[in-house]
Amino acid sequence: MRKIFYPILASALFLGAVQVANAQDNLVNSLSKNTSDNAKESFQFTELINLAKTPVQNQGSSGTCWSYSGNSFLESEMLRMGKQPVQLSQIFVARNAYADRANQYVKMHGNLALGEGGLFHDVMNVYKKYGMVPQDVYSGLNYGTTKNQFGEMSAAMEGFLKGIVSNPNGKLTTNWKTAYSGIMDAYLGAYPSEFTYNGKKYTPRTFADEVVGINPNDYIPLSSFKNEELYKPFTLMIPDNWAFGQYYNVPMNDITNTIDYALKNGFTVAWAQDVSEKSFSWKNGVAYVPTKRFEDMTADEKATMFNGPKEERVITEEMRQTAFDNYETTDDHGMHIVGLAKDQNGKEYYIIKNSWGASNDYEGYMYVTKAYVQYKTLNLLVHKNGVPKQLLKKIGK
């Protein structure tokens, strides 16, 4: 997830710090303008499914939605398996991914996007390679703040890496990785190679294996694009796919069919999407696809966009593809689908857990229509048992 969440820096070391520090706050403030008065009173939501999850978190001024939502997803998986709830360290995941991304960037002589964003497979790759730690053990708050503020750190890391690949000596030393880790140590704290949790010593590997206990190979990445071969893996061409992760391409309707199947069978879903639409209101906690484009609405229609249920456009695969190709749909954000609800007219909405704190009308949660999910989804991650059996067979799983 990338747009707005991390900067493309003109001068990484100096100009970028302020941009990154305010990136998350600016996004939330921008989306908070998409509001209607008395919106909450105009909806009557009835929960149909609401699965186990841990409390809402706040990613602060950082582009770490992917690690917050990805970890939230793992925490719900632990609860589904009957394990004790644990808040997992989002910054442990991010730090390891940043180190791997830096290595990839240097290997490619700087021809790779940098930034704080990432994707759900980054969470799984970190889990497989490095393990996991509790949030209490590694909060990343090593410089006197109560919330993430990654601006200065990101500027320093990007400036450092650009200097490395420019390399006036013509040959890299073996020390750059240690120096890069030193930047993260200074801002996030020393790497937690060993720690004590509930009176027992662990390494990140043993904690992942003994306490978290998931099998990363049990999870299926899905996406849907008309110009890719159906039921085959493909590389999703977005800047934050620095690891070149692949997704199984399925028809658009299988995105919502899979979410429905997963929820009804007790599985939550990690969801990456575009949130830049005017019909996405963080403050009012609702997202849908209006029948009119925003620029064609009257002033009254704009002011009352979120005052109760509205009719929606019927989404087609052509619409999805066009919106992605022309940059209307971009890789903005990652959230966690934890349930299903219906409004007073019987229309169904997914219950979404966000990572922007509990500052909106639904204390950190949102209600998102199926049309919006069909239109604006970039990818999903779900346990294989949360995927319909016929779809698993088609993708060869």
Does a structural domain hold residue 5? no
Q: How confident is the model at residue 144, as a pLDDT?
A: 86
> pLDDT tens-digit profile of 199-210?
999 999 999 999
Q: Is 383 annotated in the active site?
A: no
> pLDDT tens-digit profile of 8-29?
333 333 344 334 445 555 555 6
Does a structural domain hold residue 52? yes
Catalytic residue, candidates 333, 336, 360, 379: 333
Would you tell me the crossing angle of helices 151-166 and 90-107 to the nearest 10 degrees? 20
The SS3 of residue 205 is: helix
Q: Is 121 annotated in the active site?
A: no
Q: How confident is the model at residue 126, as a pLDDT?
A: 98
Domain harbouring 169, CATH code: 3.90.70.10
Q: How confident is the model at residue 27, as a pLDDT?
A: 57
Would you tell me the crossing angle of helices 16-32 and 151-166 to the nearest 10 degrees? 130
Contact (Cβ atoms closer than 8 angstroms) between residue 248 and residue 221 = yes
In this prediction, the residues of the chain whose per-residue pLDDT falls under 50 are 2-21
Does a structural domain hold residue 151? yes
Q: Quick one: how many helices (H) and strands (E) in the chain?
A: 13, 13
Q: How confident is the model at residue 11, as a pLDDT?
A: 35
Q: How confident is the model at residue 33, as a pLDDT?
A: 74
Q: Cα separation of 217 and 267, whole Å? A: 16
Does a structural domain hold residue 365? yes
Instruction: Report how many domains make up the chain.
Output: 1
Q: How confident is the model at residue 233, as a pLDDT?
A: 98
CB count in 10 Å sphere of residue 175: 9
Closest CA to 257 of 124, 367, 392: 392
Q: Cα separation of 138 and 345, whole Å? A: 45
Return phi, psi of residue 230, to 5°: -70, 140
Catalytic residue, candidates 58, 65, 360, 379: 65
The SS3 of residue 378 is: strand
Global pTM reads: 0.93
Does a structural domain hold residue 4? no
Closest CA to 65 of 355, 373, 379: 355
Does a structural domain hold residue 388? yes
Does a structural domain hold residue 6? no
Residues of the domain holding 151: 16-394
Q: Cα separation of 55 and 53, whole Å? A: 7
Angle ∠(100,329,65) on CA atoms, nearest 5: 40
Does a structural domain hold residue 1? no
**DSSP state at residue 352:** E
Q: Is 354 annotated in the active site?
A: yes
Give long-range contacts, CB 8 A cutoff, 24+ apart: 287-291: 287/366, 287/367, 287/368, 287/369, 287/372, 288/312, 288/368, 288/369, 288/371, 288/372, 289/313, 289/315, 289/369, 289/371, 289/372, 289/375
Catalytic residue, candidates 96, 354, 360, 379: 354
Q: How confident is the model at residue 175, as a pLDDT?
A: 93
